[in-house]
């Protein structure tokens, strides 16, 4: 709408705005009005059947792969426009926060 001239200001997720060089990104909304976007992960039934393992093993394997083998600099979001991890970038998760999250997920999974 903003690009077409139908509006002078627009609100959208940062990751959706940045590809448009015609737009001027003026910054995020104040923290008190921000909405969080929650992501979740799942294990496809086909994977469980293919590797002949239960869900718990598949999730543990995925976490372990990410922690030990994944080339994190090569991981991208679903639209392949942005790296998932990049320090100091407004639409990417920084490495330290990711490591803390994945370690906490691994600890939580062990406790289940």
Q: What is the pLDDT of residue 47?
A: 64
Q: What is the pLDDT of residue 48?
A: 66
Residue 103 has pLDDT above 70, yes or no: yes
Q: How confident is the model at residue 38 (pLDDT cuts 50, 70, 90)?
A: low
Backbone angles phi, psi at 21, to 5 degrees: -65, -20
- At residue 23, the 3 state secondary structure works out as coil
**Angle CA 82–21–23, to nearest 5:** 110
Give mean pLDDT, residues 77-90: 78
The H-assigned helical ranges of the chain are 14-17, 45-51, 55-68, 95-111
- Put simply, whether the predicted model's pTM sits higher than 0.85 gets the answer no
Q: What is the pLDDT of residue 26?
A: 83
Structure-model confidence comparison of residues 59 and 37, the more confident one: 59
């Amino acid at each position: 709408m903003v690009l077409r001239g139908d509006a002078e200001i627009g609100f959208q997720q940062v990751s959706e705005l940045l590809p448009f060089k015609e737009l001027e990104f003026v910054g995020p909304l104040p923290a008190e009005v921000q909405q969080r976007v929650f992501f979740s992960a799942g294990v496809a039934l086909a994977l469980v059947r293919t590797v002949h393992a239960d869900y718990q093993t598949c999730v543990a394997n995925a976490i372990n792969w990410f922690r030990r083998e994944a080339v994190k600099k090569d991981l991208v979001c679903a639209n392949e426009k942005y790296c998932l991890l990049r320090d100091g970038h407004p639409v990417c998760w920084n490495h330290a926060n990711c490591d803390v999250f994945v370690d906490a997920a691994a600890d939580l999974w062990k406790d289940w």
